[in-house]
Amino acid sequence: MKTNDKSTVAEPEQLDQLDPLEEAMRRALRELGEDPDREGLKETPQRVAKSLRFLTSGYRQDVKKVLNGAVYSVAYDQMVIVKDIEIFSLCEHHMLPFFGRCHVAYVPTEKVIGLSKIPRLVDVFARRLQIQERLTTEIAETIMETIKPQGVGVIIEAKHLCMIMRGVEKQNSVAVTSSMLGIFRDCDQTRSEFLRLVKQRS
């Protein structure tokens, strides 16, 4: 005989899955010896999950869509440089932030990129779990592939909290990485001009 036991039927709200990232943060807090239900921490798992999704939003962005709507044919063959772009990223080894400035230059052949898109491109790659060396290379190679300029130069200067807060604990250390492609690698004059413009403060 079949019974109509309504107590076994899940209510719609019971079917909703808890955010796995929030649950992971609750477990992490417990492992650290904290109580995730105490007043100061009740909203922390949600806040951390939201922050991490923002700081890794580059995984969910299409670089081609970011750039291709702002590529223009222009008769210009001199250096284009966008410098002092603020960057914030997460070190993939410790998931601690590194932050600093990025300088991007290229010498076009037939096409240029809308100036505002270069910082957007930097953000796409910075908002991922990164190492500074790869971040530098990805920015340079993407510009090279997109508009095929005579060359691209990218320099990043950054402080790493994994070196400041832990490990060697060197508060004043700055990591500098560069990627020089095409004319920036092959021509001393072009590379020197880029380095001079980067050092020149507004």
Q: 12: pLDDT confidence band, cut at 50, 70 and 90?
A: very low
Residue with token string 């004043």: 172
Q: 202: pLDDT confidence band, cut at 50, 70 and 90?
A: low
Pick 89 or 8 by higher pLDDT.
89
**Helices and strands (H and E) in the chain: how many:** 9, 7
Same domain (yes/no): 36, 129: no
Same domain (yes/no): 93, 118: yes
Q: 142: pLDDT confidence band, cut at 50, 70 and 90?
A: very high
Mean pLDDT for the stretch of residues 182-190: 98
Q: Which two tokens stand for residue 193?
A: 């001009």
Q: What is the strand order of the sheet 129-130 is part of?
A: 129-130, 80-91, 97-107, 151-160, 175-182
Q: Is 132 a catalytic residue?
A: yes
Ranking 68-72, 120-124, 188-192 by mean pLDDT, the lowest is: 68-72
Q: Which of 93, 110, 133, 145 is catalytic?
A: 93
Q: 18: pLDDT confidence band, cut at 50, 70 and 90?
A: confident
CATH at residue 145: 3.30.1130.10
pTM exceeding the 0.95 threshold for the entire prediction: no
Q: Is 92 a catalytic residue?
A: yes
pLDDT over 70 (residue 15): no
Q: Which of 102, 130, 160, 193 is catalytic?
A: 160
Contact call for residues 113 and 76 (beta carbons, < 8 A): no
Q: Which of 23, 46, 94, 157 is catalytic?
A: 94
pLDDT over 80 (residue 3): no
Q: 82: pLDDT confidence band, cut at 50, 70 and 90?
A: very high
Q: Which of 22, 102, 130, 132 is catalytic?
A: 132
Q: Which of 43, 92, 133, 145 is catalytic?
A: 92
Same domain (yes/no): 51, 75: no
CATH at residue 51: 1.10.286
Q: 155: pLDDT confidence band, cut at 50, 70 and 90?
A: very high
Position 184 in a domain: yes
Same domain (yes/no): 50, 80: no
> What is the 3-state secondary structure of 77-92?
CCCEEEEEEEEEEEEC
Mean pLDDT for the stretch of residues 1-26: 64
48-65 pLDDT, tens digit per residue, is 999 999 999 999 999 989
Query: The domain containing residue 36 runs over which residues?
Result: 12-55
Mean pLDDT for the stretch of residues 146-163: 97
Report the mean per-residue pLDDT for the chain: 92
Same domain (yes/no): 82, 173: yes
Please tell me the total count of domains within the chain: 2
Query: What pLDDT score does 138 carry?
Result: 98
Q: Is 102 a catalytic residue?
A: no
Same domain (yes/no): 88, 49: no
pLDDT over 70 (residue 16): no
